[in-house]
Amino acid sequence: MHQTDDRILDEADRRWLEIVKSRPYLASAVE
């Protein structure tokens, strides 16, 4: 179960990183 959760988190992180790279202002807004 933990492995599956880790995979989901990894995918979410990758997508988030892609969004942040394309839209830097989102990162500053979240932080």
The tens digit of pLDDT for each residue in 1-31 reads 567 788 888 898 899 888 888 887 766 766 5
DSSP state of 29: H
User: Residue 1 sits in which domain range?
Assistant: 1-31
Task: Judge whether 16 and 22 are in contact, CB under 8 Å.
Answer: no
Total domains in the chain come to 1
Task: Judge whether 26 and 19 are in contact, CB under 8 Å.
Answer: yes
Tell me the two tokens of residue 8.
């989901």
Tell me, what amino acid is at 15?
R
- Give the per-residue pLDDT at 23: 84
- Give the per-residue pLDDT at 30: 65
- Give the per-residue pLDDT at 31: 59
| Overall pTM > 0.75 | no
